[in-house]
Structure 1
Amino acid sequence: MALNNPWLVGDAPDRRLPADRLEERIRNLLASQNMCVLATSGPDGPAATPVRYYSLDLAVMFTASPRSPKMRNLAADPRVSIGLFAPLVGLASSRGAQIFGRARVLAPDDPEQVPFWEAFRWENEHAERGRPLSEPPAETLVVVEPDRIVYTEHWLRRDGFAPRQIWRRPQP
């Protein structure tokens, strides 16, 4: 029987990608998608919330209403897990990431928001809400800078690399 992807047959390799190549693939995934699932934990247990996001380097950011359940959960426990993935056609196209880190909630007047707003396409949200594009955002911004990322891409097997790669924040 002819196979489209004969490199998927047999055991998966265990070779690690060099860090710079892994980071490039993660950045590509982050830049090519715009929806993720944010997992938080609160008094009622875990909650998984679909969120539209933007990225800056390896950080994921999104806006949120301060009164939302996810924000109440983040106030109680800032540890989060984020799952995102590219559309799946078959095993060869399997590509996604699990991001683990702590959420930082930046109030509308927090100067730490500035570099993130520059990468956030806030004009889209302003247009959707009928807000003038001449007024910059004045919203709560949530930023998750990862401590660890589990990246999965089965196409890596083709070049002899493990389909699951682990990125960890370098220690100072």
Structure 2
Amino acid sequence: VSGFAGKNSGDREMVTVSSESLEGTDPLKATILLVGLQFCTVVIDVEKVKQINISNCKRCGVVFESAVVGVDITRSQNIDLQGKGKFYNCDIDQSDSVKLYADRSNAANLTILTNGCPQPTTVIFLGGDEEEPFEGIIPAQYQTKFVNGQLETTPVEHEG
């Protein structure tokens, strides 16, 4: 999906990516690329895809089931991302005001990398009806994992 711009109003345009729109591509080999989108909500209505790349988008929401590799967000602003199933990595690079919503059952598997983000990233783990959501803030240039019921943040270590 590329260059879609919704109206700059209270209503967002809705874009749906379905299995049919992948045109015969195996979803486990499919990378969903969202480029230059503005003021819209994208629903990826495919059970499992390989990866989701979000680049140069503004004021967008993205909802998906599962991503085998994970999600990359680059040079984007005001992104709300919700993974309802499993995904293992979320790389956020040079992006501002990102909110990441993930299922609490996926929290222990998820690694979040941030780099060059002017504002901290907000992470919210959603539980069942009985559980309160867990909310945490991640500063830039850190790796964060959910360990023993808490966000554990360490500086990124560069080898070489």
TM-score for both structures, normalised by structure 1 = 0.23
TM-score, normalised via structure 2 length: 0.24
- Normalized per residue, which structure has more strand? 2
Bigger Rg over Cα = 1
